[in-house]
Amino acid sequence: MTVIRKPLLSCLTVAVAALLPFIAPHRTAHAEAYIDTSLTALADFSLEDLMQVEVYSASKQVETVFTAASAIYVITGEDIHKSGVTSLPEALRLAPGVQVSKIDGNKWAISIRGFAGRFANKLLVLQDGRTIYNPLFSGVYWNAQEIMLEDIEQIEVIRGPAATLWGVNAVNGVINIITKHAKDTQGGVITASGGTSERGASGVRYGGKIGDAGYLRVYGKYFYRDVQVPVDSPAVTDALWNDWRGGFRSDWALSSKNSITFQGDLYESRVANALYGGGNLLGRWNSTLSETSTLSLQLYYDRTSVKQKDHPELRDYEIRDTADVELQQTFALGNRQHLVWGTGFRLTSDQMNRDAAVSPTYIPTSRTDSLFTLFLHDKITLLPETLHLIVGSRAEHNDMTGWEIQPTARLLWTPHEKHTLWSAVSRAVRTPSRAETTISARVTDPDPAIGQPEVRLVGNSTLPSEKMIAYEAGYRYQPMPALSFDLALFYNDYSSLVGVVQGNPSGGSPPTLVPINVASTATAVGKGGELSVNWKALTWMDLALAYSYLDISVSSSSTLMSSDGSDFNRIVLSGDTSPRHQMSFISFLTLPHNMKCTFWLRYVDTLPALGVPDYVTLDTRIAWKPVPNLEFSLVGQNLLAPKHQEFGADMFGNSAGQTERSMYGKVAWLF
């Protein structure tokens, strides 16, 4: 009985505490006035009083995460370092509500609030303002994004639609990777690591100063990793994932009000014969126009390519060039309105597989698409410091579906400095991908001997965009600086989801060709929530807990059974490929003798559509710094079982692998 009562009691107290902000009196209208204090008066303040003074920086309106009107979580570079993860996708597990399912050694299914798959298509992913999802399938080649983790300043993860501010594809969320300012990476770092799955890795970075106001860093990185053991075969393959990349970032302060950034990367990632390569160059100019206004102009060029090493014209062949320009301005209108507006233009041009005998092909084999965008976002103060209304909309023109409008309205209430409540209604769309509109892929080979027709997946050039209306609400509570709670709830209403329908067989009787056509076939409702708790329990102990719940139901107007009895649409629509429950508990410990220790426990529920069982796993890291510029660390990953499966095979013939228990050691030297 006592076992039951304790959690029950905590449940009750949590519930009561959740009601507190509604009972507690909030800041009254007359108390909102600010007292602007003079310097001489400040000098007579005690330390305690000084700690209660609200500070503002002269030029920037700082919107902290605590008072943001969306479900945002920030993974810091420090968190990534202390967690012991070795790749970008694994680092995303640190944020609540993000599903990171490893398909095999170098492929991941990553999504937020459902619809996971290797080609999960409802996320916008950016690195330093450059879009890194691929318009071929509106997803990300995660294996081609293995940037130097030591250079990451932070990763902002927004759950829910953020299309108004961020643009195309930001339907279920945004992942925004921000690297460090070159000023913060002065000096050198050399890292070397090796282990059981993480066979060998090495990274070098050096940062220096150019002139009085310029900073530069260059980096290079190489690693090779195991490719995982397939689920249905015990065979150990010798295949390795080889990956190298190099790049630079340079930041210059032209004056106190103007700064520019140049950066670029070059990379190649190879598993067996598949080569993923590319490079990019980006320039950004930031200007402070006045105390309340900033302007930024950004230009970038990006090339990605996918090739087969020995057969350059074969399957999966793709070369893509993208050029993008964006202008953005923030300014205040009177005392109560803070506006952001922006405009942008993007051209993306591709060359696909030209050999018609090889599947898949795309018609036409080469295409250029343009995207024009314009947005306005206004934060209106209804009651100073207490109540804000945010309205905004983005208008976008693309070559496939024409104009798309993505508006949002958000209400932000900060009744007390320790409480924030927000709610939002937004519309977001996902425009059809290049593949969905133009693919022609053989699903089943014909066999005239037994009268089996060819089954072919055919793209649909008149496909409308997928649409979503999202209703969200959130609450943050920070009872003391060391403890914070963040709860977000959502109800997502999707329509025109893309699935497949069977077309008319052709070629007489029996037919020789059965087309499967891409079409809008489904609607869906996704609902759930995420809770995260961050607690600096002791000066040497940081704890973070995250729990997310997700319930998705897809109603499809078409069912299409494959030969093995599974419904194609169920897989294509990815309705059931996400766990209902996900939990993560991480504890960072600072120990005596310059040692640090991390324990990270995760639970992921079953994936019903893929027959993947639930799993619990544990990562640990222990690090020792004998001197301040040298760190040794030992990391154990997925320790609770010899191996476990995280995702299933997909219709594109990607079979799933098993994630094995692994260990690696690492040395990092700063100079």
Partner 1 sequence: MVVLNILMLILLAISPIAAVMIVPGSAAAASPPVTRAASYEVKAAFIYNFTKFVTWPSTSFVNAADPIKVCIMDNSALSEALEALAGKTSKGRHIKTLSYQNITEGDRCHLIFFGESVDTPLTKKILLAVGKSPVLTVGDSAAFVQQGGIIRFITSGNKLAFEINPATARRSGLEISSKMLSLAKIVGELP
Report the largest interatomic distance among the alpha carbons of the chain, rounded to a whole angstrom: 96
What distances in angstroms separate CA 478 from CA 78, 472, 483, 487, 653, one per listed residue?
22, 20, 6, 12, 48
The closest alpha carbon to 72, from 64, 82, 60, belongs to: 64
Q: How far apart are CA 103 and CA 659, in angstroms?
A: 9
Q: Where are the alpha helices (DSSP H) in 225-306?
A: none
Tell me the window of 468-476, 489-497, 565-573, 583-591 that interacts with partner 1 (CB under 8 A). 583-591
Tell me how far, at minimum, the Cβ of 485 lies from partner 1, in Å.
8
Site mask for partner 1 (CB under 8 A), range 417-446, x = bound: xxx---------------------------
Choices 45-53, 312-320, 371-379, 650-658; region in contact with partner 1 by CB under 8 A:
45-53
Give the tokens for residue 412. Answer: 């932000």
Question: Per CB under 8 A, which of residues 56..75 are in contact with partner 1?
Answer: 56-58, 62, 64, 66
How far, in Å, CA of 159 to CA of 157, rounded?
6
Does 55 interact with partner 1 (rule: CB under 8 A)?
yes
Omega before residue 510 within 30° of 0, cis: yes
Could you give the CA distance from residue 321 to residue 340 in angstroms, rounded to a whole number? 29
- Among 22, 196, 209, 355, which residue interacts with partner 1 (rule: CB under 8 A)? 209
Question: Where does 173-257 show beta strands of DSSP type E?
Answer: 173-179, 187-195, 200-210, 214-226, 229-230, 240-253
308, 70, 40: which is closest to 174 by C-alpha?
70
CA distances from 368 to 136, 312, 389, 561 (A): 12, 21, 39, 35
512/590 with CB nearer partner 1: 590
Interface with partner 1 by CB under 8 A: which range of 50-58, 325-333, 454-462, 497-505? Answer: 50-58
How many Å apart are CA 129 and CA 144, to the nearest integer? 17
| C-beta separation of 130 from 282 below 8 A | yes
Token pair for residue 612?
Answer: 């993947």
Q: Provide, rounded to whole angstroms, the least separation between the CB of residue 418 and partner 1.
A: 6
Identify the three-state secondary structure at position 10: helix
Q: Which of 5, 36, 334, 642 binds partner 1 (CB under 8 A)?
A: 36
Nearer to partner 1, 527 or 581 (CB): 581
Q: Per CB under 8 A, which of residues 605..634 are in contact with partner 1? A: 605, 614, 616, 628
Q: Which region among 26-34, 118-126, 310-318, 405-413 touches partner 1 (by CB under 8 A)?
A: 26-34
Q: How far is the CB of 189 from partner 1 (least distance, A)?
A: 12
Interaction residues for partner 1, span 477-496 (CB under 8 A): 477-481, 483
Residue 49: CB minimum distance to partner 1, A: 8
Pairing type for strands 454-458 and 439-444 reads antiparallel
d(CA 104, CA 282): 32
Amino acid occupying residue 493: D
Distance CA(109)–CA(115), nearest Å, equals 9
The strand pair at 123-127 and 173-179 is best described as parallel
Q: Tell me how far, at minimum, the Cβ of 10 lies from partner 1, in Å.
A: 4
Nearer CB in complex with partner 1: 279/384: 384
298: amino acid identity, one letter: Q
Q: How far is the CB of 67 from partner 1 (least distance, A)?
A: 9
By beta-carbon proximity to partner 1, the closer residue of 585 and 652 is: 585
Mark the segment that binds partner 1 (CB under 8 A) among 53-61, 158-166, 228-236, 310-318.
Answer: 53-61
Residues 472 and 489 sit within 8 Å (Cβ to Cβ): yes
Q: Which residues contact 270 (CB under 8 A, 6 or more apart)?
A: 241, 242, 243, 276, 309
CB of 631 to partner 1, least distance (A): 11
Task: Tell me whether residue 11 or residue 347 sits nearer to partner 1 (CB atom).
Answer: 11
Instruction: State whether the Cα torsion 85-91-97-101 is positive or negative.
Output: negative
How far apart are the C-alpha atoms of 617 and 316, rounded to whole Å?
34
Task: Output 76 or 462, the one with its CB closest to partner 1.
Answer: 76
Please report whether residue 335 would count as binding partner 1 according to CB under 8 A: no
Which one among 1, 29, 33, 357 touches partner 1, defined by CB under 8 A?
Answer: 33
Instruction: Give 4 or 449: the residue with its C-beta nearer to partner 1.
Output: 4
Closest residue by Cα to residue 276 from 179, 367, 146: 146
Q: Measuring CA to CA, which residue among 180, 221, 225, 185 is closest to residue 203?
A: 221
For 195, list phi and psi in degrees, rounded to 5: -170, -160
Of residues 513 and 541, the one with the C-beta less far from partner 1:
541
Which x/- pattern over 517-546 shows residues binding partner 1 (rule: CB under 8 A)? ----------------x-x---xx----x-
Figure out which of the listed residues 268, 369, 385, 493 binds partner 1, where binding follows CB under 8 A. 385
- The residue (of 50 and 347) whose beta carbon lies closer to partner 1 is 50
Site map 248..287 versus partner 1, x via CB under 8 A: ----------------------------------------
The values of phi and psi at residue 577, to 5°, are -100, 15
Q: Could you say whether residue 599 binds partner 1 (CB under 8 A)?
A: no
Judged by beta carbon, residue 184 or residue 660, the one nearer partner 1 is: 184
585 binds partner 1 (CB under 8 A): yes
Question: 458 or 541: whose CB is closer to partner 1?
Answer: 541
Using the rule CB under 8 A, is 6 a contact of partner 1? yes
**In the set 29, 47, 357, 449, which binds partner 1 (CB under 8 A)?**
47
If the CB atoms of residues 209 and 309 are measured against partner 1, the closer one turns out to be: 209
Task: State the nearest-atom distance from the C-beta of 488 to partner 1, in Å.
Answer: 18
Site for partner 1 in 552-581 (CB under 8 A): 581
Least distance CB 531 / partner 1 (angstroms): 10
Task: Determine the residue type at 76.
Answer: T
Q: Judge contact between 142 and 108, C-beta under 8 A.
A: yes
- Name which position in 2, 25, 364, 564 contacts partner 1 (CB under 8 A): 25
- Dihedral sign computed on CA atoms, order 660, 79, 424, 342: negative
Nearer to partner 1, 185 or 465 (CB): 185
User: Which residue among 2, 5, 29, 54 contacts partner 1 (CB under 8 A)?
Assistant: 54
* Total binding residues toward partner 1, as defined by CB under 8 A: 78
Question: In terms of Cα–Cα distance, which of 89, 98, 200 is closest to 141?
Answer: 89
Instruction: Name which of 240 and 546 has its Cβ closer to partner 1.
Output: 546
Contacts with partner 1 in 105-164 (CB under 8 A)? none
User: Least CB distance from residue 343 to partner 1, whole Å?
Assistant: 32
Q: Between the CA atoms of 78, 82, 85 and 86, what dihedral angle is there, to the nearest 10 degrees?
A: 70
Residue list 387-416, contact with partner 1 (CB under 8 A)? 416
Interface of this chain with partner 1, residues 177 to 196, rule: CB under 8 A:
183-184, 186-187
How many Cα atoms are found within 13 Å in the side-chain-facing hemisphere of 323?
3
Nearer to partner 1, 199 or 418 (CB): 418
